Structure 1
Amino acid sequence: MNEFRTITVDRSGPVARITLNRPEAANGLDRELGRELGQVASYCADDPELKVVVLTGSGRFFCAGGDLKAMAAAGTDVGEHLKALTDDLNDAVSSFGRMDALLITAVNGVAAGAGFSLAMAGDLVVAADTASFTMAYTRAGLSPDVGASYYLPRLIGLRRTQDLMFTNRVLSAAEALDWGLLHRVVPAADLAATVDELAETFAAGSQVANANVKKLLLVSSSHTLEEQLTREASFIIHAAESPDGREGIDAFLNKRTPNFGHSAAGRH
């Protein structure tokens, strides 16, 4: 994972840190960045030893969304350009959403358009107090992509989603937290250290338990109560029978800190 040009990837044990690295273009999503993000997300999803992935941006922006200059340069081939770009970005979001590892999005600055959508894909979303959020699509005559219409109504409801998408209003980090879009806001100078601490905490936790939580929440809104009860029962049985489950139960009963391994969570 060291051959990328538009992102950087740092791996430390069960933690991978991905940084969008086009600061001169506000980390705008062009074809190359989309392709590389899709590739690295696939690598992360296929890595059984990975427990945590951190996604952030370099410079002042988290991600300003799709690169409009690249779209304009595509001319009459803009449809083909966007088809390739959205295919790669959709693959990335799907891989991040379905991988066993937890995704922490560390929003270091402006998150606009598809950058806003990417930020919302995190299992934990932490923002600098200087960050801001805007959809911005309709201002450019475009409609949302990269999961915005999936995540936002589930997070904040239809009316607030309509407000964001139709008016392109800009939310401060504090407002985004109040709306329920974020898990926490920290001083900009503390963002990296805060996210690193969270990543280490999750890296020491149970991959099986965390992966099961992700899978349960991903389908909860589309299942009936009975279907979800059945799925929950299957998952807790799987967890209890796993090395993590046995270790966790023993540690709890003996009042000690559990020592969870890096075993894969398995598929359901």
Structure 2
Amino acid sequence: MSDHILVEKHGAVTVLRLNDPGSMNAMTGQMATDLRKLLRSESETARAIILAGNERAFSSGANLNSAMPTDRTSLDVGKTLEEHYNPLMETIRDLPVPLVSAVRGAAAGVGASISLACDIIVAGKSAYFLEAFARIGLIPDGGATWLLTRAVGRVRAMEMMLLAEKIPASQAMDWGLITRLAEDDAVESTAMAIAERLAAGPSQSYALIRKAAWSAADSDFSTTLATERELQRQAGLTDNFAEGVTAFLEKRPAKFG
């Protein structure tokens, strides 16, 4: 595994921390692959996962120093996506546990994509989001075109992608790009409080909620209704449902295992 990703366990919550301060946590293909493997392995035991960086940056995007070969005629940036980043983003989509991102400083390029693909996005007041691809003659990746157009609409997404300007966290909050705005020194404690709440919740239900929500983003209304019907059938067979109903009838808080 990469030396640039730290694994911190806090009871039922795991924090996966991007940790390459010298590059502001710039991503390499190997880091993307390692993060994917860690997400999959940690989701087997953790009940919620936090993705975090450090004070200066969540991630400054792809590490261009590692991406540029001596012979530019052999360069295929799309291959890097196919082999490393796209599998990571699909793993985030398919994860069976809730995912929270704790964003301080820069969330740029594919780093922004990773942070914004999480279920709940907590950002510090000095954090910012930057789709910097146009500055170097590329297009947004890591699912950014999909994530942004669905989060803030086509027009705002186009402004972010074409002008490649920093979007301050307060503006991101106004646009609906993030879910929580916190003081810089309270970002991780806020994310942890949310993750601990999720970790104590109905894990089987959460897995199905994630599946339903991601499916709905690409489906028409009738298909969504059919998907909800099938996933609701599955939810009704879980221990979470049995405990939830029992607790409701007994007028006590549910205790989800």
Q: TM-score range by the shorter chain?
A: over 0.9
Q: CA deviation at 1:185?
A: 0.5
Q: Which residue of 1 aligns with 2:159?
A: 163
User: Which consecutive residues of structure 2, in runs of 5 or more, have no partner in the other structure?
Assistant: none
TM-score, normalisation: structure 2: 0.93
Q: CA deviation at 1:41?
A: 2.5
Alpha-carbon distance between aligned partners in 1 of 2:216 and 2:167, rounded to the nearest angstrom = 28
* Native 8 Å contact 2:124 2:182 kept in 1: yes
Alpha-carbon distance between aligned partners in 1 of 2:240 and 2:233, rounded to the nearest angstrom = 12
2:240 is aligned, of 228, 237, 244, to: 244
| Inter-CA distance 59–189: structure 2 relative to 1 (3 Å threshold) | closer
User: Which consecutive residues of structure 1, in runs of 5 or more, have no partner in the other structure?
Assistant: 262-268
Amino acid at match of 2:119: D
Q: Which residue of 1 aligns with 2:130?
A: 134
For residues 100-151 of structure 1, the C-alpha deviation after alignment (integer angstroms, 9 at most, x for no partner) is 1011011111111111111111100010111011101011111111110111
Q: Which residue of 2 aligns with 1:264?
A: none
1:87 is aligned, of 75, 80, 83, to: 83
* Native 8 Å contact 1:74 1:81 kept in 2: no
1:23 is aligned, of 21, 24, 29, to: 21
* Native 8 Å contact 2:128 2:168 kept in 1: yes
Amino acid at match of 2:100: I
Alpha-carbon distance between aligned partners in 1 of 2:16 and 2:186, rounded to the nearest angstrom = 18
Q: CA deviation at 1:57?
A: 0.6
1:196 is aligned, of 183, 192, 195, to: 192
My pick for the range that moved more, 65-74 or 136-145, is 65-74
Q: CA deviation at 1:219?
A: 1.3
| Inter-CA distance 210–166: structure 2 relative to 1 (3 Å threshold) | same
Q: CA deviation at 1:34?
A: 2.2
The residue correspondences of 1:98-109 to structure 2 (distance < 5 A) are 98-109=94-105
* Secondary structure of the structure 2 residue equivalent to 1:9: strand
Q: CA deviation at 1:11?
A: 2.4
* Native 8 Å contact 2:56 2:105 kept in 1: yes
C-alpha RMSD of matched pairs (Å) = 1.8
My pick for the range that moved more, 95-104 or 26-35, is 26-35
Q: Which residue of 2 aligns with 1:35?
A: 33
| Inter-CA distance 22–77: structure 2 relative to 1 (3 Å threshold) | farther
Amino acid at match of 1:239: A
Q: Which residue of 1 aligns with 2:172?
A: 176
Q: Which residue of 2 aligns with 1:9?
A: 7
Identity of counterpart residues, as a percentage?
28
My pick for the range that moved more, 202-211 or 222-231, is 222-231
